[in-house]
Amino acid sequence: MHRSYLFIPGNHPAMLQNADIFGADAVIFDLEDAVSITEKDSARQLMKAYFETIKKPNFSIYVRINALTSSLGAIDLNMVMNEIVEGIVLPKATVNDIKMLSKLLDTFENARRIKKKTVIIPIIETAKAVFEIGQIAQLPRVSALLLGAEDLTGDMEIERTKQGIEIEYPRAKIAFACKAFEIEAIDTPFTDVTDDEGLEKDALHAKSLGMNAKCAIHPNQLESINRTFTPSQTAIDEALRIVKADEDAQKHHRGVFSLNGKMVDKPVVDRAKKLLIKAKHFGMLGEEYEK
Amino acid sequence: MKNNLGREIFDQMKAFASSDAFEQEKRRLINTKTTEGSVVFLKNIEETFKYVGLKNGMTISFHHHLRNGDKVINFVCDAIKKEGFKDITIAASSLFPNNGPLVELIKDQTITGIVTNYINGPIANAVGMGDLKKPLIMDTHGGRARAIESGDLKIDVAFIATPAVDKEGNGSGKFGPSACGTLGYAIQDLMYAKKVVLISDYMTDNIIEPELSKHYVDAILMVDKIGDSEGIVSGTTKITRDPVGRKIARDTVKVLEALNLIKDGFSMQTGAGGISLAVVEYVKNIMISKNIKARFASGGITGQYVDMLENNLVDTLYDVQCFDLKAARSYRENRRHIAISASKYGNPFEDNPVVNDLDFVILGATEVDLDFNVNVTTDSLGQIMGGSGGHADTAHGAKVTIIVTNLLKARLPIIKEKVTCVTTPGEDIDIVVTERGIAINPLRTDLIETLSKTKLPILTMKELMNIAHDIAGIPSNYEMSKEPIGYVRYRDGSIIDTLYKIK
Amino acid sequence: MKIGIAGSLESNDCLVTIKDSDVLSIKVQSIVDAFYHDQIVELIQTVLEDVNMAHVDVTVIDKGALNYTIKARLLTALHRMEASHA
């Protein structure tokens, strides 16, 4: 469960060495768009040396490789595959590419005796991917879907706006697909890194559609993103009251009961329980509830 | 011989014992003089030198309120060289890169001594190379006031850059093309120098509440321009966008909240560094959301504090120096923006210096050591690049002193076994906040108790240093030269450390 | 002559230049020379031994890079040098 995914350019030593302090739940080291074509070799080598050096990172590590349709993607994989890498972020993902990547991962995992299954996070950034989304969300290894709104609106030849009405449909579609197949829905980055208010609004809106995490393209965006995707104290308190009231009702064999004048039934209780699981994961519950 | 911190110091000098040793001493005061307001207006600098009786071997003083835009120091020193004076000691509250032309005068021994609180740029480099004949003396802001009033620093002539003067001979920092706000660092010079000359470029009628009273002034010299207003604005008054700095600032505010230091009627001081400014911004947001009002903020004042004053988030600003033109404007217009002298600010022998009323102060560091000693005077090679300013004064006065610093700067761990130079003794440093953890001085068991109940990453200083070493490797030992070129004088007049020639 | 260059002069990075040479030569100029010069030279020697490169002339201008960065830049420069020959 992650709230924030921070993109860090793969060839940027100064940011690399501070990746652990920004408070990102996950970091995506980028070998694709953030690295110029002439520096791909340098970035791969740096990633490799970095992964071999860090011990026990306090965040999940992902790498965005280059698209598999170019020859670069496979070379990237060869250099960065390491036990420490949780997953691969795949740009311009299609069903076929994901299947191909999965096979490549099988090979590397066997050859390098990597015990765990490296997951795949496809970036939904083509009209075709949005169309195939139900299929993509069900593929093995796929642990989350990431909306790439810049490329997607480019593909659609529509304007990308700060309000984001143009991505309402893909956002909702990704959220539904992810919920249906129990994977994470990661929202597209907010590209104006100086507009803190705009970011907050954008993240809240994504959350309201069912997204449960958001990408950051600057560490300064993380505080707001983490806050947005962590259950608020008010919501936690309310959920605790509901669960408590439900336990009491169970004792008296009542299915439906009222709390503060509102009817509470099973869906409401289930929602409260889900919220508490999340709250616990992010350390928002006091010790007395650590059960 | 060694002082109580184990630092080698010049023989026969008063050795630093502890930061509160001054409490056992009596305040020493030399007489102030009065000129009865008989102020003379002089035509040029040569005539001025004659009038005040400038001679070889004398000590002349300056303030640094015009900061990197000051033209008076260079102007006076250039004339001193032309007139052929030798063996002059410069007692300037600070020296900046724009004072570079003084290097030639140091080399030809027109200038042979420097007493200052902060020095960077070409002069610092020249002194580090051993070019200054006499030992460099580095004071604190409060310590300089003490040195002047006690006669430890005898000033023969004070040349005070004054943004506005009136016909009576009063001076003010409020008006004129080079208005820089308060003149806190010049007040002791005004009161205790044997001769006082105001140098100004703006004459006005009747200054009502002059910072510089004509009763101490001997002469006034009008010149074309005393400063460049662009250089007056400190270069460091921007809130950091650097995510590492912001992380440190956020954790610092969490510390302040955990210690319940942000509550109605609190008082604070922060430096003008990017991290400090970010801390103030976060504190301000908390004050707004929780409807909290501070009693006062003090020290060098920035536009950020002016905003807080004008939005009624803080009652009073005690301003020893305006860091930007917004602060200078506020000082001119707002009765709750009050000027204080360097002595009232941080002189340990004042009855109740402002620093003693501080709930907390946020300060920087170029190095911190396992004993919590802080260096802001030299870099890790011993090159002078700063100085205490008010660092040691506020660290002693404030109830909680917090150092904010990166754990690593360009691979170099900031935490050392021993700092290269002690500016502020560890006994006065309570908390060190870095991006990878927070260390609390073992002397402050109260703070440790409160903060260890939080989720904040509390570590020992040794653990913090080890984290830095894990990342960067253990730095090899660097042997400084053994050749002393000056010393650091603690606010009570004792010697806290020695400065060495660089290799 | 074969030559490979990698890295940059950004802070926390280093610029590595490698040329083929009759004898091994390592020159390091770092902003943290006083504290890490010998460690950087040692690291370069180790990496060169690992990849069996005894005949190169290495120049490093370092802006405070950590060891893994220096190692990565060195390896990239070596590969680029090899490629420049091919």
Helix/strand/coil for B456: coil
pLDDT at A286: 66
In this predicted model, which residue has the larger pLDDT, B30 or A264? B30
What's the average model confidence in pLDDT over B248-269? 97
Best residue in C32, C40, C42, C43 to probe B by mutation, most B CBs within 10 Å? C32
What's the average model confidence in pLDDT over B154-158? 98
Asked if B247 and A283 come within 8 Å (Cβ–Cβ), the reply is: no
Neighbouring C-alpha atoms within 13 Å toward the C-beta of A53? 19
Which residue is closest to A54 within chain C, CA to CA? C68
Residue among C32, C38, C39 whose CB faces B410 most closely? C32
Q: In what order do the strands lie in the sheet with B88-92?
A: B40-42, B219-222, B195-200, B157-161, B59-62, B88-92, B111-116, B136-138, B484-489, B495-500
Subunits with 3+ C-beta pairs closer than 8 A to C: A, B
Long-range contacts of A236-240 (CB under 8 A, 24+ apart): A236/A275, A236/A276, A236/A279, A236/A284, A236/A285, A238/A272, A239/A271, A239/A272, A239/A273, A239/A275, A239/A276, A239/A279, A240/A272, A240/A276, A240/A289
What's the average model confidence in pLDDT over B440-457? 96
HEC per residue, B272-331: CCHHHHHHHHHHHHHHHHHCCCEEEEEEEECHHHHHHHHCCCEEEEEEEEECCHHHHHHH
CA distance C11 to C21: 29
The radius of gyration of chain C from alpha carbons, rounded to an integer in Å, stands at 12
Q: Is the pLDDT of residue A291 over 70?
A: no
Phi, psi of B454 (to 5 degrees): -95, 175
pLDDT tens digit sequence for B218-228: 999 999 999 98
pLDDT tens digit sequence for A10-43: 999 999 999 999 999 999 999 999 999 999 999 9
What is the token pair recorded at B186?
A: 């010049």
Contacts of residue C32, defined as CB under 8 A and 6 or more positions apart, other chains included, come to B410, B411, B412, B475, C62, C64
What's the average model confidence in pLDDT over B103-112? 98
CA distance B453 to B467: 22
Helix/strand/coil for A103: helix
CA distance B73 to A259: 76
Where does the pLDDT of residue A289 fall: very low under 50, low under 70, confident under 90, or very high at 90 and above?
A: low
Residues of chain B with C-beta less than 8 angstroms from the C-beta of A21:
244, 247, 435-436
Residues of chain C with C-beta less than 8 angstroms from the C-beta of A14:
10-13
What's the average model confidence in pLDDT over A166-185? 96
In the chain, the amino acid numbered B188 is Q
Distances A201 to A162, A163, A168, A228, A288 between C-alpha atoms, Å: 10, 9, 14, 9, 33
Q: Is A14 on the interface with C (CB under 8 A)?
A: yes
Subunits with 3+ C-beta pairs closer than 8 A to A: B, C
Residue among A21, A223, A283 whose CB faces B244 most closely? A21
Q: Within a domain: residue B499?
A: no
- Out of A100-104, A248-252, B238-242, B363-367, which region has the weakest mean confidence (pLDDT)? B238-242
Q: Do B201 and B258 reside in the same domain of the chain?
A: no
User: With contact defined as beta carbons under 8 Å apart, do B297 and B308 qualify?
Assistant: yes
Q: Is the pLDDT of residue B159 over 80?
A: yes
CATH number at residue B357: 3.40.1080.10
Residues of chain B with C-beta less than 8 angstroms from the C-beta of C66:
411, 471-472
Q: How high does pLDDT run on average in chain B?
A: 95
Q: Do B319 and B421 reside in the same domain of the chain?
A: yes
Tell me the shortest Cα–Cα distance from A89 to chain C, in angstroms: 23
Structural domain for B432, as ranges: 243-477
Q: How high does pLDDT run on average in chain C?
A: 95
Q: Do B293 and B146 reside in the same domain of the chain?
A: no
How many residues comprise chain C? 86
For the beta carbon of residue B87, count every other beta carbon within 10 angstroms. 15
Closest CA to C12 of A17, B135, A267: A17
- Partners of residue B416 on adjacent β-strands: B369
Distances A19 to A13, A34, A44, B359, B468 between C-alpha atoms, Å: 10, 16, 17, 34, 15
Closest CA to B320 of B336, B294, B356, B344: B344
Best residue in C9, C28, C35 to probe B by mutation, most B CBs within 10 Å? C35
- Residue that the structure tokens 């005040």 belong to: B52
Contacts of residue B82, defined as CB under 8 A and 6 or more positions apart, other chains included, come to none
Q: Is A160 on the interface with B (CB under 8 A)?
A: no
Q: Do B366 and B334 reside in the same domain of the chain?
A: yes
pLDDT tens digit sequence for B351-377: 999 999 999 999 999 999 999 999 999
Number of domains in chain B: 2
HEC per residue, B202-244: CEECCCCCCCECHHHCCEEEECCCCECHHHHCCCCCCCCCCHH
Closest CA to B293 of B265, B272, B268: B265
Asked if B476 and C38 come within 8 Å (Cβ–Cβ), the reply is: yes
Q: Is the pLDDT of residue C86 over 70?
A: no
Q: Do B213 and B298 reside in the same domain of the chain?
A: no
What's the average model confidence in pLDDT over B35-47? 92
Contacts of residue B110, defined as CB under 8 A and 6 or more positions apart, other chains included, come to B77, B80, B81, B85, B86, B87, B88
Q: Is A42 on the interface with C (CB under 8 A)?
A: yes
Residues of chain B with C-beta less than 8 angstroms from the C-beta of A8:
none
Tell me which DSSP letter residue B355 carries: G
Give the alpha-carbon dihedral of A61, A65, A67, A70, to 10 degrees: -160
CATH number at residue C54: 3.30.230.10
pLDDT at A260: 80
- Partners of residue B361 on adjacent β-strands: B269, B401
Q: Is the pLDDT of residue B235 over 60?
A: no
Asked if B381 and C34 come within 8 Å (Cβ–Cβ), the reply is: yes
CA distance A98 to C1: 44
In the chain, the amino acid numbered B395 is A
Asked if B411 and C64 come within 8 Å (Cβ–Cβ), the reply is: yes
Contacts of residue A67, defined as CB under 8 A and 6 or more positions apart, other chains included, come to A32, A73, A90, A91, A92, A97
Asked if A46 and C69 come within 8 Å (Cβ–Cβ), the reply is: yes
Helix/strand/coil for A108: helix
- Residue that the structure tokens 């400038």 belong to: B54
Q: Within a domain: residue B443?
A: yes
User: Which option is the CATH number for A4-228: 3.40.50.1950, 3.40.50.2300, 3.90.79.10, 3.20.20.60?
Assistant: 3.20.20.60
Asked if C64 and B476 come within 8 Å (Cβ–Cβ), the reply is: no
Structural domain for C58, as ranges: 3-85
Which residue is closest to C10 within chain A, CA to CA? A14
For the beta carbon of residue A248, count every other beta carbon within 10 angstroms. 11
User: With contact defined as beta carbons under 8 Å apart, do A275 and A229 qualify?
Assistant: no
- Residue that the structure tokens 């230049």 belong to: C17
Burial (CB count <10 Å: 0-12, 13-18, 19+), residue B2: exposed
Asked if A52 and C73 come within 8 Å (Cβ–Cβ), the reply is: no
Residue among B241, B436, B455 whose CB faces A21 most closely? B436
Asked if B244 and A218 come within 8 Å (Cβ–Cβ), the reply is: no
Tell me which DSSP letter residue B384 carries: B
Q: Within a domain: residue B85?
A: yes
Tell me the shortest Cα–Cα distance from C29 to chain B, in angstroms: 14
Residue among A18, A223, A283 whose CB faces B244 most closely? A18
CB neighbour burial string for B354-392, b if at least 16 within 10 angstroms, e if fewer: bbbbbbbbbbbbbbbbbbbbbbbbbbbbbbbbbbbbbbb
Contacts of residue B184, defined as CB under 8 A and 6 or more positions apart, other chains included, come to B65, B319, B320, B321, B339, B340, B341, B342, B344, B345
Contacts of residue C46, defined as CB under 8 A and 6 or more positions apart, other chains included, come to none
Distance spanning both ends of chain A, measured CA to CA: 18
The domains of chain A are located at 4-228, 233-289
The secondary structure element, H or E, covering residue A193 is none
Q: Within a domain: residue B34?
A: no
Q: Do B221 and B288 reside in the same domain of the chain?
A: no
**DSSP states of B35-63:** -TT--EEESSHHHHHHHHT--TT-EEEE-
The secondary structure element, H or E, covering residue B4 is none
Q: Do B110 and B159 reside in the same domain of the chain?
A: yes
pLDDT at C84: 82
Residues of chain C with C-beta less than 8 angstroms from the C-beta of A41:
76, 79-80
pLDDT tens digit sequence for C13-58: 999 999 999 999 999 999 999 999 999 999 999 999 999 998 999 9
Q: Identify the sign of the CA torsion A185, A186, A187, A188.
A: negative
> How large is the greatest C-alpha to C-alpha distance in chain C, in angstroms?
39
- Partners of residue B375 on adjacent β-strands: B367
pLDDT at A263: 82
Q: Is B241 on the interface with A (CB under 8 A)?
A: yes
Q: Is B286 on the interface with A (CB under 8 A)?
A: no
Where does the pLDDT of residue B258 fall: very low under 50, low under 70, confident under 90, or very high at 90 and above?
A: very high
Subunits with 3+ C-beta pairs closer than 8 A to B: A, C
- Residue that the structure tokens 């990239």 belong to: C76
Tell me the shortest Cα–Cα distance from A244 to chain B, in angstroms: 27
pLDDT at A257: 80
Asked if A52 and C7 come within 8 Å (Cβ–Cβ), the reply is: no
What is the token pair recorded at A7?
A: 């993109």
pLDDT tens digit sequence for A145-159: 999 999 999 999 999
Where does a domain end: B203, B232, B261?
B232
pLDDT tens digit sequence for B330-351: 999 999 999 999 999 999 999 9
Among residues of chain A, what percentage have pLDDT more than 70? Answer: 98
B-contacting residues in A 201-230 (Cβ below 8 Å): 218-220, 223
Q: Identify the sign of the CA torsion A185, A190, A196, A202.
A: negative
User: With contact defined as beta carbons under 8 Å apart, do B307 and B295 qualify?
Assistant: no
Where does the pLDDT of residue B212 fall: very low under 50, low under 70, confident under 90, or very high at 90 and above?
A: very high
Q: How high does pLDDT run on average in chain A?
A: 93
Tell me the shortest Cα–Cα distance from C21 to chain B, in angstroms: 30
Q: What residues of chain C have any CB closer than 8 angstroms to a CB in chain B?
A: 11-12, 31-32, 34-39, 63-67
Asked if B435 and A283 come within 8 Å (Cβ–Cβ), the reply is: no
In the chain, the amino acid numbered B393 is D
Q: Within a domain: residue B486?
A: no
What's the average model confidence in pLDDT over B52-62? 98
Q: What is the CA A93 to chain-centroid distance, rounded?
A: 15
Q: Is the pLDDT of residue A66 over 70?
A: yes
User: With contact defined as beta carbons under 8 Å apart, do B113 and B134 qualify?
Assistant: yes
pLDDT at C54: 87
